[in-house]
């Protein structure tokens, strides 16, 4: 999914460049047909949805990115202060340097994900969901209608049975509090993850031209037009 800072032109912006030229040419004649109410309603709904969604995504993601960056910098400062205090205090009451450097978060991540030798280390079991994921998803983008077929034909670790995840499944891998990206749980074993959108099998409930995706640059769930291209991360229901 591609997000870019953009400005939605108003009718005044669109007409501004042509008003002066029309005024200068006194003999220029124009004719505009009057649209009916039905066509105006449909066009307004489509354009309004696309415009508001894009602008909201841009604004929300920019704020979210700034917030996570500030938290990350603050965390680094806090860690530096804690290390300095421990050094001055002789690492506290009986704590060894090895014990002081242990990371509970990293241990949780390591215990959650298990790299499967039966899949030649090409797949990972998520103990929280029971789902099996590709360790290294392919770096290839495709339109939504081709995504499910790519997974169905795929062989990973010598095994078939892969599919495109639904949005609730893929969202379990996203962590929007993580910065810098990829926005994945701490201690994860995955690699080759793009800071971009990944398709899910879930279509948008109200707009059939869109489907849901998960962005691992920000760790957020969003939706994109099916004709656009995103990455594919395949999943399996079990480790057998």
Sequence-distant (6+) residues with CB within 8 A of 123 are 115, 116, 132, 133, 134, 135, 156, 157, 159, 236, 239
Please report the beta strands in 21-82, taking only residues with DSSP state E, as ranges in sequence order: none
The pLDDT value recorded for residue 227 is: 98
Joined tokens for residue 183: 């926005």
CA dihedral 17, 22, 23, 26 (to 10 degrees): 170
Q: Quote the CA–CA distance of 126 and 184 in Å, as a whole number.
A: 13
Cα diameter, the chain: 93
Collapsing DSSP to helix, strand or coil, 134 comes out as strand
The pLDDT value recorded for residue 38 is: 54
φ, ψ (nearest 5 deg) of residue 8: -85, 120
Please report the beta strands in 15-118, taking only residues with DSSP state E, as ranges in sequence order: 113-115
The pLDDT value recorded for residue 93 is: 33
10 Å CB burial of residue 58 (0-12, 13-18, 19+) is: middle
The pLDDT value recorded for residue 55 is: 41
pTM, 2 dp: 0.57
The pLDDT value recorded for residue 240 is: 73
8 A C-beta contact, residue 225 and residue 171: no
Q: What is the pLDDT along the chain (240 residues), one digit of tens a residue?
A: 544 444 444 444 444 444 444 344 444 343 444 455 555 554 445 445 444 444 444 444 444 554 555 555 455 445 444 444 334 344 333 333 333 333 333 345 568 999 999 999 999 999 999 999 999 999 999 999 999 999 999 999 999 999 999 999 999 999 999 888 899 999 999 999 999 999 999 999 999 999 999 999 999 999 999 999 999 999 999 877
């Amino acid at each position: 999914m591609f997000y870019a800072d953009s400005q939605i032109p108003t009718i005044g912006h669109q007409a501004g460049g042509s008003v002066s030229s029309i005024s200068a040419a006194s003999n220029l004649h124009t004719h505009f047909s009057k649209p009916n109410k039905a066509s105006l309603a449909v066009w307004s709904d489509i354009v309004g949805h696309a415009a508001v969604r894009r602008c909201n995504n841009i604004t929300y993601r920019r704020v979210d990115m700034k917030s996570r960056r500030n938290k990350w910098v603050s965390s680094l400062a806090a860690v530096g202060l804690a290390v300095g205090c421990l050094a001055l205090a002789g690492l506290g009451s009986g704590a060894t340097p090895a014990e002081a450097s242990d990371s509970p978060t990293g241990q949780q991540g390591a215990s959650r994900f298990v790299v499967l030798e039966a899949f030649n280390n090409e797949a990972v079991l998520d103990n929280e969901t029971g789902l099996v994921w590709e360790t290294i998803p392919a770096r290839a983008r495709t339109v939504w209608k081709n995504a499910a077929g790519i997974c169905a034909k795929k062989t990973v670790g010598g095994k078939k049975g892969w599919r495109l995840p639904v949005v609730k499944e893929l969202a379990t891998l996203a962590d929007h509090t993580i910065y810098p990206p990829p926005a994945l749980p701490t201690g994860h074993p995955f690699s080759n993850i793009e800071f971009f959108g990944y398709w899910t099998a879930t279509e948008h409930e109200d707009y059939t031209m869109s489907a849901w995706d998960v962005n691992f640059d920000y760790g957020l769930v969003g939706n994109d037009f099916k004709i656009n291209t995103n990455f594919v991360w395949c999943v399996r229901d079990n480790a057998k």
